[in-house]
Structure 1
């Protein structure tokens, strides 16, 4: 059983990652979910998290994190996820309770109380996680590794060079990457392979209560993705959870990876691929995914939740 905390900015793909994690309660002990301003404002993404958790009658503690990046103003992405940050489904309300308004302190106390090490799952900008390990460094020995969705060695999506999550707060990403804690990076190199087809999306319609929710999420997400050139829909954030569930689904290479924080390349994640380098390898960069196994993981999780 792996102990995890999910730090996120829901988000269609965040929602599917959360649902998949919840469905795998025999493998994952979700100690808490924390929110971060990213895809949309902190208030909106927290509402989205509440709606998802309430929809599946969850009791997982939910904590609100930072509303802004470390040094710059927040840059949101309504063009990708809509004005709510998770357009598509209709929810009846947001009754889900907030456990804490201080995600940093919540994460610290939760991790330190846990008997075993904890995996942090970063599905948005890395502001919360960076502050945790920078401000309270004794927590580092209790973190097994950090599994993130962010970055890309070959390309960006917010800019030609920078992926959105890293672009929003590259200073935070730089802190996390150079923290000495092992990091598994699901960047665009692998997440754009982790796509669900239109036929697979349509197969979820009216299949079950949670499967239909996934259909509504993915139906909007697929239409939105057309403006970026996608026909099928990459489920980016799910990769960071799927890796924890089944690392054999992926292959990758360890590199020294750092982040550019200034100029036109702000947000760029770059790897030292020299044959001889004095840089210690700090990131496992996932490069390939078995798409069929990946989609089966999602569909099986939705079927589990349909029965609850």
Structure 2
């Protein structure tokens, strides 16, 4: 059984780690990948999606360019974490893949409208494209099976003391999304700061195949975590959750988004159930970390060198 999926992303090195699984695991029926400004500019994130689709010989994948800035607040990237290009460290060569002419929201709408079955949305960047889709085509809600997001935190931020980067980048969009009627699963820093690819796993990854070498070339330029402590695979968690939800501990909570002031971008959970009589989000709180590491290595080990356009390491 396959999962029809639209994947909204801002590559980014951990996004690349996720897209590697997305494009090589046959369980994922990838209907569309959309880019958004986040870790780097939308021109760069779009180009990075094209690089990965080229690397894995996935010319069949539709790729659409999305929002170049948040709905309200000024755009600020995370190139200090992901490098100037978003995916430094590996030369993907001349790119053969092309994006489609439709922009992301129109492309999403077309896929949803024409699908005979409901689609799973996965968002691992700022939620600007998703918010615009809900505003422009509210009727598409009924075609969305669920939304799985990497974003938010119950226990503190990685951009400010309270805000996680994806939500902070466009809190107004996040507010629209979380206040919609979507079935949302939030996989935030409470889990992803635990879901580290360990130093042992990274050593093994390098020995697996050409894809392992490509990923390690990127990870060597990833300024989140450390080689000793491990590197957080934030965005990969969305796909691991879809395949193995039993590896996560979740709690249903109401999540509010702060859109101004010193706590802008915070995801505030009604943990005591004192201000809301219902919930709007399935919130991931814990993960089986050893199983995550073993699963990711297995995913990469299964990728045949014969099926990729192997590039070359940068000096």
TM-score by length of 2: 0.93
**Deviation at 1:254?**
0.6
Describe how 1:236-255 pairs up with structure 2 within 5 A: 236-255=234-253
CA RMSD of aligned residues (A): 1.5
List, as ranges, runs of 4+ consecutive aligned residues in structure 1 with deviation greater than 6 Å.
none
Q: Could you say which residue in structure 1 is the equivalent of 2:133?
A: 132
Q: Could you say which residue in structure 2 is the equivalent of 1:265?
A: 263
**Deviation at 1:103?**
0.5
CA distance in structure 1 between the partners assigned to 2:244 and 2:157 by the alignment: 26
SS in 2 for 1:104: helix
SS in 1 for 2:212: helix
Q: How many residues align?
A: 304
Q: Could you say which residue in structure 1 is the equivalent of 2:158?
A: 157
**Deviation at 1:134?**
1.5
Q: Could you say which residue in structure 2 is the equivalent of 1:304?
A: 302
CA distance in structure 2 between the partners assigned to 1:203 and 1:296 by the alignment: 11
Q: Could you say which residue in structure 1 is the equivalent of 2:28?
A: 28
CA distance 1:88–1:120, shift in 2 (3 Å)? same
Query: Unmatched 5+ residue regions in structure 2?
Result: 308-315
SS in 2 for 1:74: coil
CA distance in structure 1 between the partners assigned to 2:220 and 2:200 by the alignment: 11
**Deviation at 1:23?**
2.1
Counterpart contact for 1:150–1:188, Cα < 8 Å: yes
Cα offsets for 1:81-136 (capped at 9, x unmatched): 00001122222123211113410000010011111110110010000001001110
**Deviation at 1:2?**
1.1
Query: Unmatched 5+ residue regions in structure 1?
Result: none
Cα offsets for 1:152-202 (capped at 9, x unmatched): 011001101100000010000000001011110010001011001112112
**Deviation at 1:280?**
1.8
Q: Could you say which residue in structure 2 is the equivalent of 1:61?
A: 62
